[in-house]
Chain A
Amino acid sequence: MVTLEHYLVLSALLFSLGMVGVMFRRNLIVILMSLELMLNAVNLSFVAFSRYLGSIEGQIFVLFVMVVAAAEVAVGLAIAVAVFRQRGTININDISLLKW
């Protein structure tokens, strides 16, 4: 029997993996991808709660998260292309102008 906890553990593992990617990878595109992974982990727990609490609201919120994620990816990749045109690299160690 698959319970809610199974899905929550899977979601937590996926989220942690995404966070590891955001913290330790140096490639801007891979960081964006790890961000997507984290958003998808959250989506999974939303859908699991929606199923086990018998409410549709979780799935509605997943739709909105997908909208925000799509907008974020489009703008983020546009920024990556613009940065690459300016600096010739997307390694975030070389793009630390705004870091104090």
Chain B
Amino acid sequence: METILFYVLAAVTLLSAVCVVFLRRPLHNVLFMILTMIGLATLFILLHAEFLAMVQIIVYAGAVMVLFLFVIMLLNLEEISLPKEPRPLRWGFGVILALALVVVLFPIFSHFTPSVMGKSLPGAVGNVSNIELIGTELFTTYLLPFEVASILLLAAIIGTVIIGRKLKD
């Protein structure tokens, strides 16, 4: 079961990654990038890294990709010339993509049992949940890198604002 899931998810992730690299329009690249991120998140769930899977979906598929979309819309890179009425091929493509999404989302539901607390990293760490383990490590062993990361994010915010403002003539 796990093997089949792995191969299906790997195929979806790889195919959408190929589309990210080789499709012509940046808009399509971004949409397939979102699919790649969701595929990677489900692979993380297969690897029992549930917290990272959620962070992946929220941060990457949510925030980062919306940022990309926003910039592409802002720059208006392409003169959008969509056909007037949707062709039947496009409907079929949409249906296939929706089915692929169901396949990708399936392991999330099959792994979802609310009472399983001690199943992350089984055998190695015993009775502690994944997120608890990460939190403990992050705030004890890796406290300094954690704080440095916050400073890095602050620097990125300030840098983005300064680079992105309009220059006065």
> A60 contacts which of B33, B125, B134 (Cβ < 8 Å)?
B134
Judge whether A78 is part of the interface by a CB distance below 8 angstroms.
yes
Report the interface size for chain B: residues with CB under 8 A from the other chain: 61
* A92 vs chain B, min Cβ distance (A): 13
Report the interface size for chain A: residues with CB under 8 A from the other chain: 55
Q: Across the interface, which residues of A come within 8 angstroms of B155, CB to CB?
A: 71
Q: Are B48 and A51 in contact (CB under 8 A)?
A: yes
Judge whether B106 is part of the interface by a CB distance below 8 angstroms.
no
Q: Across the interface, which residues of A come within 8 angstroms of B63, CB to CB?
A: 70
Interface of A is mostly: helix
Bound CA span A81–B142, Å: 35
Bound CA span A56–B167, Å: 46
Tell whether A71 pairs with B153 under 8 Å between CB atoms, given A2-B2, A2-B6, A90-B75: yes
Among B39-61, those with CB < 8 Å from A are 40, 43-44, 46-49, 51-52, 55-56, 59-60
Q: Are B64 and A36 in contact (CB under 8 A)?
A: yes
List residues of chain B with CB under 8 Å of any chain A CB. 2-3, 6, 10, 13-14, 17-18, 20-21, 26, 29-30, 33, 36-37, 40, 43-44, 46-49, 51-52, 55-56, 59-60, 63-64, 67-68, 71-72, 74-75, 77, 121, 123-125, 130, 133-134, 137-138, 142, 145, 149, 152-153, 155-157, 159-160, 163-164, 166-167
- 9 CB < 8 A contacts A-B: A10-B10, A13-B17, A17-B14, A29-B72, A37-B21, A51-B121, A64-B149, A66-B60, A70-B59
